[in-house]
Amino acid sequence: MSLIAISGAKSGIGAATAAMLRASGHDIIGIDIGGADIAADLSTAAGRAHAVAAVLDRSGGTLDGLVLSAGLGPTVKPHVNIVAVNYFGAVAMLDGLRGALQRGVAPAAVVVSSVSSVQVTWEANPIGRALEAGDEAQVAGVLAAAGDRAGQLAYAGSKNALTVAVRRRVVDWGKLGVRLNTVAPGAVETPLLQAGLADPDYGPAISRFVAPIGRRARPDEIASVIKFLLGQGASCVHGTQVYVDGGVDALTRPETF
Ligand SMILES: NC(=O)c1ccc[n+]([C@@H]2O[C@H](COP(=O)([O-])OP(=O)(O)OC[C@H]3O[C@@H](n4cnc5c(N)ncnc54)[C@H](O)[C@@H]3O)[C@@H](O)[C@H]2O)c1
């Protein structure tokens, strides 16, 4: 049995992961904006600091696993909130809980990115450098100038930068003995996807697009991959992005891997 903290534990992929890990006998500390063990708003610096402090307090300073699933979809406004939760919220939790993981048993972290992370390359990511530099004002300026594209830019740009942030930590975390990976889901049947389907701008395109396996994923199909990445079966998997997308990544860029 081990102790695993999960952000976004109230809904969707985070809730499915919490349920699956609990059923396997693990203790879970859930973090969400409400309705979880720890209530924290990861869109603000104060909320992130509270989340880290509360997890350290509740865990006694030692964690065996961390899953970062809290996130907002491209339809959310203001668009700066998307990057505030998806990028800054996740990176603050990673860095704030690294020491607790180092003290854990066979520790590992999994960050929920997205197949959208490869819709833009790092070289062409208009907000990548500003995110990496922690410059929220510059990110806000780029998004304000992006017009109708701002939501998708905020989502894909923040997920691209998040996957890069995870991969940049592979040496430091490796030295500490903490494995760190991302999963990249395609469309998953959750409230976040439902909001996209209900949106007049995004809905038709999401409805039309069908993954090569012919359907969308269920949240438990992402949770089972997260569980694998946390466990000893993945003891040599570090710095990898695992696509759980029904073949979308291979469909869109078969020669790039
Ligand atoms: N559903 C999909 O199609 C899909 C595809 C690729 C990636 N993802 C990613 O999966 C992750 C989970 O999304 P989901 O589909 O399960 O959506 P969801 O809406 O069901 O769950 C997201 C959770 O994040 C929490 N959250 C949002 N803002 C927060 C904040 N400010 N502070 C704390 N918690 C906050 C929500 O309360 C919710 O419980 C997200 O990072 C999302 O980007 C989802």
What does the pLDDT read at residue 250? Answer: 97
Question: Quick check: CB of 71 below 6 Å from ligand 1?
Answer: yes
User: Is the CB of residue 44 less than 8 Å from the CB of residue 19?
Assistant: no
Mean pLDDT, rounded, for 92-103: 98
pTM over 0.85: yes
Cβ count within 10 A of residue 213: 12
Q: How does residue 22 score in pLDDT terms, banded at 50, 70 and 90?
A: very high
For residues 209 and 186, give the distance between their C-alpha atoms in angstroms, rounded to a whole number. 11
Is residue 73 within 8 Å of 193, Cβ to Cβ?
A: yes
Give the DSSP letter string of 245-256. STTHHHHH-TT-
- pLDDT, position 69: 99
Of 6, 11, 116, best ligand 1 pocket probe by most atoms within 8 Å of the beta carbon: 11
Mean pLDDT, range 31-38, rounded to an integer:
97
**Residue 35 banded pLDDT, cuts 50, 70, 90:** very high
Per-residue pLDDT tens digits for 115-162: 999 999 999 999 999 999 999 999 999 999 999 999 999 999 999 999
The percent of residues above 90 in pLDDT, for the chain, comes to: 99
Binned at pLDDT 50, 70 and 90, residue 43 comes out as very high
Q: What is the mean pLDDT of the chain?
A: 97
The helix/strand/coil state of 243 is: strand
Q: Do 13 and 185 form a contact (C-beta atoms < 8 A)?
A: yes
Which among 17, 190, 194 is the best mutation to test ligand 1's pocket, defined by most ligand atoms within 8 Å of the CB? 190
Residue 98: phi and psi, rounded to 5, are -55, -45
The proportion of the chain whose per-residue pLDDT surpasses 70, expressed as a percent, equals: 100
> Can you tell me the mean pLDDT for 170-188?
98
Residue 107 pLDDT greater than 90, yes or no: yes
**For range 36-41, the mean pLDDT:** 98
pLDDT value of residue 39: 98
| Class (C level, CATH) for 3-246 | alpha beta
Give me the DSSP letters along 133-186.
TT-HHHHHHHHHTTGGGHHHHHHHHHHHHHHHHHHHTHHHHHHHT-EEEEEEE-
Token pair 């997205």 is found at: 114
Nearest CA to ligand 1 atom 16: 12
Check residue 23 and give its pLDDT.
98
What residue spans define the domains of the chain? 3-246
For residue 253, what pLDDT is reported?
A: 96
Under 8 Å between Cβ of 201 and 148: yes
What pLDDT does 1 receive? 66
The CA distance from 199 to 193, in Å, is 10
Is 245 close to ligand 1, i.e. is its CB under 6 Å away?
A: no
- Coil, strand or helix: which one is 32? strand
Residue 204: how many CA atoms within 13 Å on its side-chain side?
A: 2
Neighbouring C-beta atoms of residue 124, cutoff 10 Å: 9
pLDDT digits (tens, 9 = 90+) for 47-83: 999 999 999 999 999 999 999 999 999 999 999 999 9
Handedness of CA 118, 171, 93, 127 (dihedral sign): negative
Q: How confident is the model at residue 110 (pLDDT cuts 50, 70, 90)?
A: very high
Given the residues 87, 155, 202, 243, select the one marked as catalytic. Answer: 155
- Residue 117 and residue 184 in contact, taking contact as beta carbons nearer than 8 Å: yes
148: CB partners within 8 A, 6+ apart: 201
